[in-house]
Chains A and B, each alone.
Chain A
Amino acid sequence: MQIQSRLSSLAISLLAALIIGGCSSTATEPVDQQEPVAPAPEVVAPVEVVEEAAPGFAADNTTPVDGAGQPITRTFYFEYDKAILNPGDLASLEVHAQILSRNSDRSVVVQGHCDERGTREYNLALGERRAAAISSFLRSAGVSSRQIEVVSYGEERPQNPGHNSAAWAQNRRAVVEYR
């Protein structure tokens, strides 16, 4: 319970930082110094507590799992033309941040994707903004920028090849791939 409440307060403060960042179009900061910085003590403190939960990797050493050993989602969806994280995704992203913080030899590629509406090159930029929103969160949660690479595929690699709103919703996403 203690962990839960501390996690959610962290999540709320990070979400606030991201929303402020998103609204002013600064989701794709060039360097760490310009990041919207979450309060440092809150980031550090839960790490000690959740250590016992030990999120990490499944036996295949690839699939990220939470403290209970359950695989956590690696795909995060976005609204049309938006690059703002869904509040419901922050808990999973926090687990990814813990895994990366505890495994400094591991890294991720965050892939950004769009639906097919709009021009291809503009969507390449929008996909990067989505992946950067994930990257921003992870770095705010203590992950080294050296462990994260952002790659946008724009609309070039749809998850669903359909041409309808259900397909589009599946295609507006960012995917965390462990290396």
Chain B
Amino acid sequence: MGLLLGFIAGKGLVGALSRVLCSLRRAKGFLALVILLSLSAPLHAATSLDTIIIDRGVDEPIRIAVVPFAMPEALSDAANLSNIVAFDLARSGQFDPLASENMLSYPSNRQAVFFRDWRILKSAYLVIGRAELAPENGKVVVEFELFDVAGERSLESRSFTIERSQWRDVGHKIADLVYAKITGVQGAFSTKILYVLAKDAGSTNARYQLEIADADGARARTLYASSEPILSASWSPDGQRVAYVSFETGRPSIILQDIDGPYRERLTNFRGINSSPVFSPDGKDLAMVLSRGGDPEIFVMNIATRKLRRITRHHGIDTEPAWTPDGQSIVFTSDRGGRPQIYQVELATNFLQRLTFIGDYNARARILPDGQHLVFVHRRNGVFHIAWQDLEKDSVLVLTETDLDESPSLAPNGAMLMYATQDQGRGILAVVSIDGRVKYRLPSSAGDVREPAWSPFLPDPLTAN
């Protein structure tokens, strides 16, 4: 391991990463190894999630070579963009980036590419690129090109002019473009996550922070901090605002806040529960749970008029609403049948149906972008896992093997989900692909991390040239 770490520090991440993944496959994918993302990313804030541990990838990942980008001396303090791109692709579990020290050449422009070099190395795809300082304004011009090695042709080529602060943005953007071109699925590497960081919860020193970070846990910053609990963060569909629950008034209330601006408002502060805010797909309404009438019921608030409409009427627990992608229905957790199960109500007709029948605890559902599948918390033999269900069938696929898994949140492309679990008594975030084959963890040394909320696709901060 010492050798591996020394190697990472000396030669960059890509080579080590590839070795890790190769050994992973040799060990049938069950060996967990640590990749020190922070070593290659000096721009990290101190509170960012610190390491990513890849537990498992697909059996036959796509072989790709991401050549270290040609960069001027003035940019040498930044991570090489190839590290960011290769790490994103490796983290998807679907790619096996080639170790940079195993490369036979280091082309940074089309003329220097010899496809024979990459065929020998069995790379199916090749990414090259370069970054240059624009002397007149201090900005950076980043170019990259993706090649199909067997077909000896260019698949994608882009140029961006960026601020120095957008270094990671452009790395994630390139990874998104490569991923989309090869898999046909929109990449989600440029997305963000919200989560709650809790320190000394329950004690008199308790501190709860609502954090926002890149989807890989880097560049974390605090949106709100309190000595009282925070939970249930939810993104507006345009990615500009967050709704969450704060106990700052001594009871739970629903807060609406700008991600990047000064706006912050307490939307509800009724007696009892005010919780589980979730934006409708069109962003106009907020589903929520209020118990002002005595027991928790699902309501929908029109954000512009603040008018409330009551959706459920049952003396049992009704909570954890989620919208169907068409905005026509809400799924929710209810114990009206005696045990918590997931139900769906059609808003126009109030037509109600139960969706889950296997197991005695199914809760906190989210619906995939296809509208046909659910992910939710499922208790089996007393242990809480994340499970997946095809709505056409009743079969349940358990995606996670750990205990106390909760709060599943889907990536906007529906390919992966992030959830909260525990590792050695500490709350951490973890990611699993929707087929259960790819897994990685995002631990934090800063405290207990929980309640992840994966952003929608966000407006592109970069301008293509």
Binding site for B on A (CB under 8 A): 25-26, 28-31, 109, 116-122, 124-126, 128-129, 132, 149-154, 156-163
CA gap between A157 and B448 in the complex, in Å: 13
A121 near B289 (CB under 8 angstroms)? Answer: yes
CA gap between A172 and B301 in the complex, in Å: 32
Q: Can you show 17 pairs from A to B with CB atoms below 8 A apart?
A: A29-B294, A109-B250, A118-B377, A118-B406, A119-B407, A121-B231, A121-B320, A124-B273, A128-B291, A128-B296, A150-B271, A151-B250, A152-B273, A153-B229, A158-B201, A158-B202, A161-B203
A124 near B275 (CB under 8 angstroms)? Answer: yes
CA gap between A128 and B272 in the complex, in Å: 8
B316 near A122 (CB under 8 angstroms)? Answer: no
B406 near A119 (CB under 8 angstroms)? Answer: yes
A124 near B294 (CB under 8 angstroms)? Answer: no
Binding site for A on B (CB under 8 A): 200-203, 206, 229, 231-232, 247, 250-252, 271-273, 275-276, 289, 291, 293-296, 315-317, 319-320, 333, 335, 340, 361, 363-364, 377, 379, 384, 404, 406-407, 422, 425, 450-451
CB distance from B51 to the nearest CB of A (A): 22
**Which of A116, A119, A150 is close to B363, meaning CB atoms less than 8 Å apart?**
A119
B296 near A125 (CB under 8 angstroms)? Answer: yes
Given the interface pairs A119-B377, A163-B422, the reply to whether A124 lies near B252 with Cβ below 8 Å is yes
Chain A residues positioned under 8 Å from B404 (CB to CB) = 116-117, 163
CA gap between A173 and B384 in the complex, in Å: 21
CB distance from B70 to the nearest CB of A (A): 48
17 new A-B contacts at CB < 8 Å, known A119-B364, A128-B291: A25-B315, A28-B295, A117-B384, A118-B361, A118-B379, A118-B406, A121-B319, A121-B333, A122-B320, A122-B364, A124-B252, A132-B294, A149-B271, A151-B250, A151-B252, A162-B425, A163-B404
Chain B residues positioned under 8 Å from A159 (CB to CB) = 202
CB distance from A85 to the nearest CB of B (A): 18
B251 near A151 (CB under 8 angstroms)? Answer: yes
Given the interface pairs A118-B361, A119-B406, the reply to whether A30 lies near B295 with Cβ below 8 Å is yes
Closest 6 CB pairs of A and B: A30-B294, A156-B229, A158-B202, A125-B317, A119-B364, A28-B295
CA gap between A122 and B251 in the complex, in Å: 16
Closest A residue to B318 by beta carbon equals: A125
CA gap between A28 and B317 in the complex, in Å: 9
Chain B residues positioned under 8 Å from A116 (CB to CB) = 404
A122 near B333 (CB under 8 angstroms)? Answer: yes
Closest A residue to B291 by beta carbon equals: A128
Q: Tally of A-B residue pairs with Cβ under 8 A? A: 106
Closest A residue to B332 by beta carbon equals: A121
A125 near B364 (CB under 8 angstroms)? Answer: no
Chain B residues positioned under 8 Å from A128 (CB to CB) = 272-273, 291, 296
Closest A residue to B379 by beta carbon equals: A118
A120 near B295 (CB under 8 angstroms)? Answer: no
CB distance from B391 to the nearest CB of A (A): 20
Chain A residues positioned under 8 Å from B363 (CB to CB) = 118-119, 122
CA gap between A156 and B202 in the complex, in Å: 7
Q: Give the one of A28, A154, A157 with max B CB within 10 A.
A: A28
B232 near A120 (CB under 8 angstroms)? Answer: yes
**Which of B271, B335, B451 is close to A25, meaning CB atoms less than 8 Å apart?**
B335
CA gap between A149 and B276 in the complex, in Å: 21
CA gap between A115 and B294 in the complex, in Å: 22
B201 near A122 (CB under 8 angstroms)? Answer: no
CB distance from A22 to the nearest CB of B (A): 12
Given the interface pairs A157-B229, A163-B425, the reply to whether A28 lies near B201 with Cβ below 8 Å is no
Chain B residues positioned under 8 Å from A132 (CB to CB) = 294
Chain B residues positioned under 8 Å from A26 (CB to CB) = 315
CA gap between A160 and B250 in the complex, in Å: 21
Q: Give the one of A31, A119, A128, A163 with max B CB within 10 A.
A: A119
Closest B residue to A156 by beta carbon equals: B229
CA gap between A120 and B203 in the complex, in Å: 18
Chain B residues positioned under 8 Å from A157 (CB to CB) = 201-202, 206, 229
CA gap between A158 and B425 in the complex, in Å: 14
Chain A residues positioned under 8 Å from B295 (CB to CB) = 28, 30
B422 near A31 (CB under 8 angstroms)? Answer: no
B406 near A120 (CB under 8 angstroms)? Answer: yes
